[in-house]
């Protein structure tokens, strides 16, 4: 998972996954405010022993090598992307570049795909561009959510 926030989705995934790596590089912005890593740590540590939580700054490249290595080594079956949407943080366009670079073929789910919201135009453009470039079929958004996904191939 890229984008932990409060850790709820990581805990939900850990209920059925063998192991969950969750990375958060969010440093705060005007839309959501400051990060709350204490809540994420508490959620993860109190709920599950099969989750690794890593917090760092993507713009300083603290986390990127670890994410890249996990993807490249094919240790990841699925990625749930719910991180920042604009530079200097990891954002969708940069994430999909990483997916291309390591030829990741697992399931990809992306949150905040909201075509009707101008603030999410970067998300929509990056996801649509990846769908076109990769030839992978995009599903969603799921009813009542802003989650879209690409099946493994």
Res 115 pLDDT > 90: yes
| Rounded-to-integer distance, Cα 37 and Cα 106, Å | 28
The pLDDT mean for the chain works out to 83
Residue whose C-alpha is closest to residue 60's, from 13, 16, 25, 22: 25
Q: How far apart are CA 72 and CA 135, in angstroms?
A: 20
Among 99, 152, 148, smallest CA distance to 123 is for 148
Bond into 141 cis (ω within 30): yes
| Model confidence band, residue 72 (pLDDT cutoffs 50, 70, 90) | confident
Model pLDDT for residues 23-50, shown as the tens digit of each residue: 877 666 666 666 667 777 787 777 778 9
- The Cα 93–Cα 4 span in angstroms is 19
**pLDDT confidence of residue 24:** 78
pLDDT above 70: residue 4:
yes
Average pLDDT over residues 68-91: 77
Q: Please, which pLDDT band fits residue 86 given cuts at 50, 70 and 90?
A: low
Per-residue pLDDT at 106: 93
Listed ranges 18-27, 84-93, 116-125; the one with the highest mean pLDDT: 116-125
More confident residue, 104 or 38: 104
What average pLDDT does the segment 106-110 reach?
A: 94
């Amino acid at each position: 998972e890229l984008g932990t926030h409060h850790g709820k989705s990581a805990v939900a995934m850990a209920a059925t996954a063998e192991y969950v790596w969750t990375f958060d590089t969010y440093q705060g912005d005007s839309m959501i405010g400051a990060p709350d890593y204490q809540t994420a740590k508490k959620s993860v540590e109190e709920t599950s022993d099969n989750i690794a939580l890593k917090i760092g700054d993507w713009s300083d490249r603290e986390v990127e090598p670890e994410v890249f290595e996990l993807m490249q080594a094919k240790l990841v079956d699925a990625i749930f992307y719910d991180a920042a949407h604009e530079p200097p943080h990891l954002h969708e366009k940069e994430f999909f570049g990483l997916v291309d670079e390591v030829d990741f073929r697992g399931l990809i789910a992306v949150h905040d795909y909201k075509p009707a919201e101008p603030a999410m135009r970067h998300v929509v453009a990056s996801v649509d561009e990846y769908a076109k470039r990769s030839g992978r079929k995009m599903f969603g958004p799921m009813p009542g959510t802003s989650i879209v996904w690409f099946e493994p191939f």
